[in-house]
Amino acid sequence: MPEVEPTETPDDGPMTILLFIDGLGSGGAQRQFSYLARGLAARGHAVTVAVYNNQDHFAREIEEAGVSIVRLLKPSRFSPRPIFAFAKLYRRCRADVAIAFLRSPAVKAELARVLCPRMKVLAAERTAYTQLPLPLTLRLTQKLHSLAHFVTVNSKNQERAMKREFPALAKRIVTIRNGADLPQKVSTAAGKPDRELRLVAVSSLMPYKNSLRLAEAVASLRDEHNLRVTVSWVGETFESLGDSGTYRETCERIAALKLEDQWHWLGVRSDVSVILADHDALIHPSLHEGTSNAVCEAMAIGLPVLAGRIADHEEMIASADAGILFDPADARSIAEAIAQFAATDRRRRCEMGSNGRRLIETRYSFDRMVTQYEALARAAVRGRRDASRVLAIGDEGLRECAA
């Protein structure tokens, strides 16, 4: 099929942007994807979203922003159909640039570029390397980023790791931190240390989210410190897996530790900020992570954060004095961090919360995230290749570059 020439886009005019993700489920990456689609559309760009599964948690808010959703459904798990369909859609939309979120959609978009050589691909990685050397399959898929114009990650820790592993791609790799809404309501629950400690976790229940060690830590606080801690877990539990999966294992551990009255599964919720505001602190025991949406959202409402010493948490939480870090591989370390927080007074807790909100306002805002992707997309259209230089010119310069 002959190439269709794109409509000429003025250097400072609206762009036609194709956003690509596997589906619109309830996860953190999907939340950021929804933010980005709505934010780019609000700035006057022609945005189309392409997906290849039927998950629809964020579909309504995307469509209400005037963004159309195209479904490139595949007949089987390993079908290459979305690759061909995405290349065809890019031509039909006469898109200027494609932004692909998550590893599998990025691979598909990069392979689609072989079929549509004029395609400009921004590959948005959302995870972190968990072992080195990299497994062969992962290494091969990461090498496909040579077909991408830019590669974004959401933590400096992952940016450094990826540049070490793939030095030939170093100029294309850059960090764009997650964006977070800044609600008017700020948490006041954190300033009430005179009652049982109420912690909230916000995450889909995957093995690396470390719910088993958290349960052990809560039990040890009850048994060894006479400290009652309750945990509310918000997010997809995959309970439908029945006799397999982390949900079953965690429920069994909770029962064995007699924690049924201290652990509450809340499921997928649309009122996460309200739930956060009703707790004393976010507990985030994940073993590995990029930048967590849950951490950003908790800090945005002024809630202290107790989290693992992973990814960018040293800078984001410890250096900002927004919470307490622990070793997520050690249940005793988790318990010690919780006990330390339980012993803090009202003033100190409020101080942590205020510090966290201030950091989100300055470095993790939704507007800043959209501006950075917009600037990279504009740079790709103009043929620029050094991602760090595009994003190293300050907020005012970024706005000018994106315009």
Quote the longest CA-to-CA distance of the chain.
73
Q: Which residues contact 175 (CB under 8 A, 6 or more apart)?
A: 152, 153, 154, 155, 156, 158, 159
189-363 shares the fold of 16-178+366-402: yes
Token output for 21: 């993700």
| H-helix or E-strand spanning residue 108 | helix 103-115
Cα distance between residue 191 and residue 111, in whole Å: 52
Query: Contacts by 389-397 with C-beta closer than 8 Å and gap 24+?
Result: 390/174, 391/174, 391/176, 395/368, 395/371
Q: What is the pTM of this model?
A: 0.85
pLDDT of residue 398: 52
Q: Where are the domains of the chain?
A: 16-178+366-402, 189-363
pLDDT of residue 184: 73
189-363 under CATH 3.40.50.2000, yes or no: yes
Residues of the chain with pLDDT under 50: 1-10, 191
pLDDT of residue 78: 87
pLDDT of residue 10: 45
Q: Give domain 16-178+366-402's CATH superfamily.
A: Glycogen Phosphorylase B; (3.40.50.2000)
Q: State pLDDT tens for residues 40-92.
A: 999 999 999 999 999 999 999 999 999 999 999 988 888 999 999 999 999 99
> Cα separations (Å) of 11 from 61, 134, 162?
30, 40, 31
Candidates 241, 178, 180; CA nearest to 206 is: 241
